[in-house]
Amino acid sequence: MTKRIWIALAALAVCVTPIHNAYALSVGGGVHYLRNLGEIEDNGYEANSFSIIGSVQFPLAMLKLEADVEYMFDLMGTDEAAWLPQAYALVGGMIYGGVGIGIVNFDGEWADDPFYNLRAGVNLPLSSMSLDLYATYQFWNDEQLEDLTGDDLDSITFAGVLRFNLGR
């Protein structure tokens, strides 16, 4: 009899754990500011860009995994929009840090190489929501885009994302 109880509890734990984790995710949206560190203005491009960002964050043990999709209305003053999907692995709680990778879709074409991010932020709890404020340093290593601007495309970015914590 006790063997059946243990088997039932183990089966229940296996079934309930994924359900609980599925509801622990958070979704959000916000704004993102990008400041290019190179001297691209000399070539007629803008160093400042703004975008909107959609984000999903999923806790996994000591990590938080995050997937973002960013839409930049005017990439570097070209009057062309760009999509920037990104993925992050983050560690920490209210104060956190992590690394990420992304790629740009500009003028209907995917870049040949990804960009990399170092990220640090503060996640401020607001009841069933949170305000995620962070900064990133983006390493761009794409000859296609560097040929376009003639300069280094490394950037500093600042973002604010309002997250809705589902099931917490």
Give the pLDDT of residue 6: 46
Going by pLDDT thresholds of 50, 70 and 90, the confidence category of residue 143 is: low
**Predicted local distance difference test score (pLDDT) of residue 8:** 45
Query: Residue 45 has what pLDDT?
Result: 56
* Cβ proximity of 98 and 68 under 8 Å: no
Give CA–CA dist 56/35, Å, rounded. 24
pLDDT reported for residue 149: 45
pLDDT in tens, 53-62: 999 999 888 8
CATH 2.40.160.20: does it fit domain 25-165?
A: yes
Residue-wise pLDDT tens digits, 66-90: 999 999 887 666 677 888 899 999 9
* Among 134, 133, 34, residue whose Cα is nearest residue 74: 34
- What the block records as the tokens of 77 is 């003053």
Residue 42, pLDDT > 60, answer: no
Q: How far apart are CA 161 and CA 157, in angstroms?
A: 13
Give this prediction's pTM: 0.73
98's CB contacts (< 8 A; 6+ apart) are: 64, 88, 89, 90, 91, 92, 119
Q: How far apart, in Å, do the first and last CA atoms of the chain sit?
A: 35
- pLDDT tens for residues 80-135? 788 889 999 999 989 999 999 998 887 788 888 888 889 999 999 998 899 999 99
Q: Is the pLDDT of residue 2 over 70?
A: no
Q: What is the mean pLDDT of the chain?
A: 77
More confident residue, 12 or 106: 106
Local structure of 146: helix, strand or coil: helix
